Chain A
């Protein structure tokens, strides 16, 4: 079967760094995607890790450890506009991009 865990809510201060963790169990695992969704909007792609290690894209970085079935999204220099829901989504052969309830990030001044 499949399972996916990430915190439901995270609050952080503007300018700070926040890490959103994700653990998963997926058969036939290929890689881990991260998506951002603002209230009332559609999910938008942030990053994809097919290999172990850290991928950096501007203020956002994503990490994957395949042996631990674990990944995280790191957001640096937080801005108010980063307040949104963040989803990790394991990718596998026949059931790609399975999302869950996501993590709601609130950035406060």
Chain B
């Protein structure tokens, strides 16, 4: 398996634009996580899906953020409208076993 695949790897966008980050989890994994990492706040859990169903989205910063998992092999994280403070590295991770998750290489988002 190729591991968790995220796209794009880098994204530069202007404030106010819509940004969509994509994730393909490892086949057979039933849990999917979206994280955001910054120097100030560390690695924050944004949302957690189990069997394609959102279980905990309490980490989603505000209504500008939304995440979907239409099927077991695809998830998106959308920011609309984007703001400079959203600049961060966004990681997707998938898991089939408690405590052990596999991370994608991340998307480095810069909002100017």
Contact = CB atoms under 8 A, between A and B. Distances in A.
Interface of A: 30-33, 41-45, 48, 50, 87, 89, 91, 94-102
Q: Give the secondary structure class of A's interface.
A: loop
Contacts, number: 63
B100 interface: yes
A42 B43 contact: no
Nearest to B39: A101
A43 B91 contact: yes
Nearest to B103: A42
17 contacts: A31-B99, A33-B101, A42-B106, A43-B93, A44-B103, A45-B100, A48-B98, A48-B100, A89-B99, A91-B99, A95-B56, A96-B95, A96-B98, A97-B33, A97-B45, A97-B101, A100-B42
A18 B97 CA distance: 28
B110 to A, nearest CB: 15
A47 to B, nearest CB: 9
B99 A94 contact: no
A96 B58 CA distance: 12
B44 interface: yes
A81 B30 CA distance: 32
Q: Which of A87, A97, A102 counts the most chain B CB atoms within 10 A?
A: A97
A98 B59 CA distance: 10
